[in-house]
Amino acid sequence: MPRFIGKAVVVTGAGSGIGRELALAAAGRGMSVAVSDIQNGPLAETEAMLKDMGVATVAVCADVSRSGDVEWLAKNAWSELGPISIVFNNAGVGGKGGLLWEASPEDWEWTLGANLRGVVNGIRSFVPRMLSEAGSDDDFRGIVVNTASMAGLVNAPLMGAYNASKHAVVSISETLSHDLALVTDRVTCSVLCPAFVPTGIARSEGTRPAGFGNGDLSKAQALAQSLSDKAVAGGKVTAIQVAELTFNAIGRGDFYIFPHPAAVGSVRARNNDLLEGKGPSNPYAAKAGLIESLKGALAT
């Protein structure tokens, strides 16, 4: 607890789900909190919850895919709350899914914009400020936590754009950890890799900005949406639990944060495939009949 009390944190994608719970968990640990989201209504709800907890709060409506929005968030957070000790680059979308060749240029632009550029923009806006603070204050410690996914470590079918975006976030996080270690030991990085959590991510199509297209779903895209809805709704680890596990992990100094340890078996299988030069194992192979049912649904 002393590691967090009196410090300031920023959480993107804080209007709901894991982002909201990270913000509330930070407030519960005595931190001041800056929150952002692309949707004003949910963001205002989170802001009200934080103010009810009696913590200093800043709320900025921002599209993390836009560097100017994230820079504005950083300026406001720093000026209102002081040095930011923890940045949760958490905002993201589920993407449309479906067969990889069906994804439109707009599908790729939207998914990579939110999931990948959002993290890049957060790093570019906050890390230099953290490094400057660390250079002038010997007591300052900073942590950047990027939200990836187990989809950043394995590759399930019908999730191509999402998988690609989350693999990139894992890669960026590992690289950022190495890069920071070259210049300081006072700013570090962690990567959060949850599996399915019952949040609103399966409905994130509703946040797709105008101009990014959102036409009728193909058979495979509808199937992917149905699978995602079912998996998210059936998630056994809640967003509250993910937030608590995350704070416990960064308190220990963990780099990889796995709220679903049972899912690590799929990562181990993928790594074994790589080392043995085999083709990729399907992460759904252990689910009796699922692959065949997918084939059947796509063939009808």
Measured distance CA(113)–CA(119) in Å, rounded = 9
Give the active site residue among 4, 110, 126, 162: 162
DSSP class per residue in 229-244: HHHHHT-SS-HHHHHH
Measured distance CA(240)–CA(18) in Å, rounded = 7
166 three-class SS: helix
57 three-class SS: strand
Identify the residue whose tokens are 């993407």. Answer: 95
Measured distance CA(130)–CA(111) in Å, rounded = 28
Q: Go through 146-169 and write b for each residue having 16 or more CB atoms within 10 A of its CB, e for each that does not.
A: bbbbbbbbbbbbbbbbbbbbbbbb
Identify the residue whose tokens are 């959590």. Answer: 197
Neighbours of 230 (CB within 10 A): 11
| Sign of the four-CA dihedral 17, 23, 24, 29 | positive
Neighbours of 60 (CB within 10 A): 22
* Residue 256 annotated as catalytic: no
- Give the CA radius of gyration of the chain: 19
Active-site residue set: 162
